[in-house]
Structure 1
């Protein structure tokens, strides 16, 4: 059973249901692109020394890296799929508020983490998507994270996609840098990404990650070797070919995420919300 009605051809979203538009973008129209963008967002936090230090001190990423990776994805996708006011969505927001209570950091630090989830997936679509985003889709994404920030008690967040990008870039210009904690977190969690890489290329996972980062300095901050310039052209060529093929396929008829269902080594039989989180 589908979560909501979805068109059978490649059409641009219309209407004023901003949450529905963002849900369609994430779970259907841009399944592959959003998944890649969320991975970039996940690792981005390790490139901020103060954030990496906090994450390392809490221990979960090192002790249970696969669970932490999947739980992070589950929380945001549960809210996207079910809505803020659903029982499942409210449970995930309460979990976010609980796990962040008492975590050191400024308001900008927390807003930055939120902006990585907004900005980086959409930038990935801008560079590698099968089509460009509409203004309404950008507005829908901004509205989703503004509401998430409000419900988490973070205060005002950037109100446009352009402002969100400017905030993220300015924050990174001040704070991006390598750290021992960031490198150790990457090493502990990279398996969560490697299992999605074709087996014959898994030994090249660090290189693939470096190629995915939109700024060379991010790779350096993560403790990765910057991707050689000679490999950037074939990487982008592969991305363009994937987008070319995607434009000619029917829209996905099944969502990329179904609440409670996740066929992984961590949750081989699915999960209950009580299992999610530390």
Structure 2
């Protein structure tokens, strides 16, 4: 059973060429077909970074999550939006990536760490949709998402990136096998991120949000973050509830308007100049650095 027109977007996607139409396919997949799932998968993806001690140490040292957590969360999503809403090779995207590169340029981050973080941004949403989405992802969607991810990485100056989803998954698994380890910084960052999510969640969901977040984590991630194991019955209930939601969504009509993140930090809209750590904004927006902006 499914709603009339439920698979119209999928049929449209299957008629497109991921080599050429990757921006359109990503828009349909992430903003029409699976907007909530994509956001949840991305949220878990952010937390994987904390399982790598060198990344956790840097993020912990900046205190961005502790002191300006909601802005840090919004800015991360908004830079992704700026890079994809008009297409990955649009002027808007290139301006966003130049800004991201300048922010990263303030820190000594090796390319292999940036490549791992990039891999989490594709593997996180895909794994979530595979587990809890209302349908499977089509190979055309995986190819398009991969194409955009690799181009995003190239615009960050990264070389030798995977060109298939399986390549990104292998990169992530291999990197985590070699680098995942628990540190106190990882736990501090994870707890700060959960507090951000709790603050942004509807009031009835807040009391259980921390336990639910832990329940959807795989064991290697939970161990690396040093978070308490949840009872098996609770994990089964949370994951079963998410799968039931996915099945029920087959009965829903397709989304008519594209989902766009509404940032708490910028209720009246943002410009590119607003994005980035507060301590860095004057430097980032100095005349030699300024780029075009977007509402």
User: Does the Cα contact within 8 Å between 1:149 and 1:156 map onto a contact in 2?
Assistant: no
- Choose the corresponding residue for 2:222, options 212, 219, 224: 219
CA distance in 1, matches of 2:272, 2:250: 36
SS for the counterpart of 1:195 is helix
Q: Which runs of 4+ in 1 moved over 6 A?
A: none
CA distance in 1, matches of 2:110, 2:205: 39
Deviations 1:218-274 (A, max 9, x none): 11221211222121221122112111121111111111116xxx352x112121221
RMSD (Å) for aligned C-alpha atoms: 1.8
Superposed displacement of residue 75, structure 1: 0.6
Matched residue, 2:63: 59
1:15 equivalent to 2:12? Answer no
CA distance in 1, matches of 2:213, 2:227: 8
- Choose the corresponding residue for 1:154, options 158, 167, 174: 158
Deviations 1:80-110 (A, max 9, x none): 2111233321221011111111533432211
1:232 equivalent to 2:231? Answer no
- Stretch moving more, 246-255 or 8-17: 8-17
- Stretch moving more, 196-205 or 266-275: 196-205
Matched residue, 2:185: 181
Matched residue, 2:132: 128
- Stretch moving more, 111-120 or 222-231: 222-231
Change (3 A) 1:120 1:134: same
CA distance in 1, matches of 2:41, 2:229: 19
Larger radius of gyration: 2
User: Does the Cα contact within 8 Å between 1:206 and 1:224 map onto a contact in 2?
Assistant: no
CA distance in 1, matches of 2:249, 2:158: 37
Matched residue, 1:268: 267
CA distance in 2, matches of 1:51, 1:99: 15
1:1-278 mapped onto 2 (5 Å cutoff): 9-11=6-8, 12=10, 13=13, 14-16=15-17, 17-213=21-217, 215-257=218-260, 262=262, 264=264, 266-278=265-277
Superposed displacement of residue 196, structure 1: 4.5
Superposed displacement of residue 185, structure 1: 1.6
CA distance in 2, matches of 1:196, 1:97: 28
TM-score, normalised relative to structure 1: 0.90
CA distance in 1, matches of 2:243, 2:130: 12
SS for the counterpart of 2:85 is helix
For structure 2, which runs of at least 5 residues remain unmatched after alignment? 278-295
- Stretch moving more, 73-82 or 102-111: 102-111
User: Does the Cα contact within 8 Å between 1:49 and 1:175 map onto a contact in 2?
Assistant: yes
For structure 1, which runs of at least 5 residues remain unmatched after alignment? 1-6
Deviations 1:49-108 (A, max 9, x none): 110101122232222111001100111122121112333212210111111115334322
TM-score, normalised relative to structure 2: 0.85
